A and B are shown apart, each in its own frame.
Chain A
Amino acid sequence: MSNTNARFHVPTAPFRPGETPDFSNLDLQKAGDAPRPDPGIDAGETASLATGLVGVLDHNHQAVGEWDPKLKADLLREGLSHMVLTRIYDERMLKLQRQGKMSFYMKSTGEEAVAVAAAMALDKSDMVFPSYRQQGILFARGRNIVDMMCHCISNSRDNLKGRQLPVHYTWAEGNFFTISGNLGTQFPQAVGYAMACAYKGEDQVAASWIGDGTTAEGDFHSALTLASTYRAPVILNVVNNQWAISTYQGIAKGDAPTFAAKGLGYGLASLRVDGNDFLAVYAATRWARERATAGKGATLIELFTYRAAAHSTSDDPSKYRPKNEETAWPLGDPIERLKQHLIGIGEWDEDRHEKLEEEMTKLVVKSYKDAESYGTLHDGPLAPTESIFEDVTETPDWRLRRQRQELGI
Chain B
Amino acid sequence: MNMIQALNSAMDILLTQNPDVVMFGEDSGYFGGVFNATDKLQAKHGAHRVFDTPINEAAIAAMAIGMAAKGLKPVAEIQFSDYIFPAFDQIVSEMSRIRYRSAGQFTSGCVLRSPWGGGIRGGQTHSMSPEAFFTHIPGVKVAIPSNPYDAKGMLIAAAEGNDPVIFFEPKRIYNGPFDGVPDAPLKSWAKHPKGEVPEGHYRVELGKAEVTREGSACTVVTYGTLVHVAEHAAEKSGIDAEIIDLKSLSPYDIDTIAASVNKTGRAIVAHEAPRTSGFGAELAAQIQEDCFYALEAPVLRLTGWDTPYPHAHEWAYFPIQSRFIRAMEAVTKAV
Binding site for B on A (CB under 8 A): 127, 159-161, 163-164, 168, 170-172, 177-178, 180-182, 185-197, 199-200, 206, 218-219, 221-223, 225-226, 229, 390-394, 397-399
B94 at the interface (CB under 8 A from A): yes
Residues of B within 8 A of A189 (CB): 62-63, 65-66, 69, 94
Residues of B within 8 A of A168 (CB): 101
Closest A residue by C-beta to B93: A182
Interface centre among A190, A197, A199, A200 (most CB of B within 10 A): A199
Residue from B58, B89, B104 within 8 A of A391 (CB atoms): B104
B182 at the interface (CB under 8 A from A): no
Closest B residue by C-beta to A181: B93
Closest B residue by C-beta to A383: B103
Cα(A188)–Cα(B94), bound, Å: 12
* Min distance, Cβ B139 to any Cβ of chain A, angstroms: 5
* Min distance, Cβ A180 to any Cβ of chain B, angstroms: 6
CB distance B93 to A180 under 8 Å? Answer: yes
B284 at the interface (CB under 8 A from A): no
Residues of B within 8 A of A206 (CB): 66
Residues of B within 8 A of A190 (CB): 66
CB distance A180 to B94 under 8 Å? Answer: yes
Would you give 13 A-B contacts (Cβ < 8 Å), ordered by A? A159-B105, A164-B101, A170-B101, A172-B102, A185-B89, A185-B94, A188-B58, A193-B70, A195-B66, A197-B70, A199-B67, A391-B100, A397-B207
Cα(A393)–Cα(B254), bound, Å: 18
CB distance A178 to B58 under 8 Å? Answer: no
CB distance A196 to B72 under 8 Å? Answer: yes
Residues of A within 8 A of B89 (CB): 182, 185, 219
B163 at the interface (CB under 8 A from A): yes
Which residues between 76 and 105 of chain B lie within 8 Å of chain A, taking CB atoms? 86, 89-90, 93-94, 98-105
Residue from B48, B66, B103 within 8 A of A160 (CB atoms): B103
Closest A residue by C-beta to B110: A192
CB distance A200 to B70 under 8 Å? Answer: yes
* Min distance, Cβ B78 to any Cβ of chain A, angstroms: 14
Interface residue count for B (Cβ, 8 Å)?
43
CB distance A222 to B62 under 8 Å? Answer: yes
CB distance B161 to A394 under 8 Å? Answer: yes
CB distance B62 to A397 under 8 Å? Answer: no
CB distance A192 to B67 under 8 Å? Answer: yes
Closest B residue by C-beta to A399: B251
* Min distance, Cβ A169 to any Cβ of chain B, angstroms: 10
* Min distance, Cβ B34 to any Cβ of chain A, angstroms: 20
CB distance A392 to B105 under 8 Å? Answer: no
Residue from A164, A178, A188, A390 within 8 A of B59 (CB atoms): A188
CB distance A393 to B102 under 8 Å? Answer: no
CB distance B58 to A192 under 8 Å? Answer: no
Closest A residue by C-beta to B98: A178
Residues of B within 8 A of A192 (CB): 62-67, 69-70, 74
B185 at the interface (CB under 8 A from A): no
B193 at the interface (CB under 8 A from A): no
CB distance B163 to A191 under 8 Å? Answer: no
* Min distance, Cβ A176 to any Cβ of chain B, angstroms: 9
* Min distance, Cβ A163 to any Cβ of chain B, angstroms: 6
Residues of B within 8 A of A170 (CB): 101-103, 105-106
Cα(A195)–Cα(B53), bound, Å: 13
Closest B residue by C-beta to A164: B101
Cα(A93)–Cα(B334), bound, Å: 65
Closest B residue by C-beta to A234: B66
CB distance A178 to B101 under 8 Å? Answer: yes
Residues of A within 8 A of B103 (CB): 159-161, 163, 170, 391
Residues of A within 8 A of B234 (CB): none
B308 at the interface (CB under 8 A from A): no
State whether A392 and B162 are in contact (beta carbons under 8 Å apart), knowing that A191-B63, A195-B67 are contacts in the complex: no
* Min distance, Cβ B109 to any Cβ of chain A, angstroms: 8
CB distance B99 to A393 under 8 Å? Answer: yes
B54 at the interface (CB under 8 A from A): yes
Which residues between 1 and 59 of chain B lie within 8 Å of chain A, taking CB atoms? 22, 48, 53-54, 56, 58-59
B198 at the interface (CB under 8 A from A): no
CB distance B100 to A392 under 8 Å? Answer: yes
Cα(A399)–Cα(B63), bound, Å: 30
CB distance A393 to B63 under 8 Å? Answer: no
Closest A residue by C-beta to B66: A192
State whether A196 and B71 are in contact (beta carbons under 8 Å apart), knowing that A188-B66, A191-B66, A225-B59 are contacts in the complex: yes
CB distance B98 to A222 under 8 Å? Answer: no
Residues of B within 8 A of A398 (CB): 251, 254-255
Residue from B56, B63, B99, B105 within 8 A of A195 (CB atoms): B63
Q: Interface readout for B289-329 with A: 1 if CB under 8 Å, 0 if not? A: 00000000000000000000000000000000000000000
Closest A residue by C-beta to B61: A188
* Min distance, Cβ A75 to any Cβ of chain B, angstroms: 29
CB distance A178 to B105 under 8 Å? Answer: yes
CB distance A394 to B54 under 8 Å? Answer: no
Closest A residue by C-beta to B69: A193
CB distance A397 to B251 under 8 Å? Answer: yes
Residues of A within 8 A of B63 (CB): 188-189, 191-192, 195, 226
Closest B residue by C-beta to A387: B103
Closest A residue by C-beta to B140: A393
B266 at the interface (CB under 8 A from A): no
Closest A residue by C-beta to B163: A393
A-B pairs with the 3 shortest C-beta distances? A192-B66, A196-B70, A188-B62
Residues of A within 8 A of B69 (CB): 127, 177, 189, 192-193, 196
Residues of A within 8 A of B62 (CB): 185, 187-189, 191-192, 219, 222-223, 226
Residues of A within 8 A of B255 (CB): 398
Residue from A160, A221, A229 within 8 A of B101 (CB atoms): A160
CB distance A160 to B65 under 8 Å? Answer: no
Interface centre among A178, A392, A397 (most CB of B within 10 A): A178
Closest A residue by C-beta to B56: A222
* Min distance, Cβ A407 to any Cβ of chain B, angstroms: 15
Cα(A170)–Cα(B101), bound, Å: 8
B171 at the interface (CB under 8 A from A): no
Cα(A172)–Cα(B71), bound, Å: 13
* Min distance, Cβ A236 to any Cβ of chain B, angstroms: 13
Interface centre among B89, B105, B254 (most CB of A within 10 A): B105
CB distance A180 to B72 under 8 Å? Answer: no
Cα(A219)–Cα(B103), bound, Å: 25
CB distance A392 to B66 under 8 Å? Answer: no
Residues of A within 8 A of B67 (CB): 192-193, 195-196, 199
* Min distance, Cβ B29 to any Cβ of chain A, angstroms: 12
Cα(A194)–Cα(B22), bound, Å: 14
Closest B residue by C-beta to A198: B48
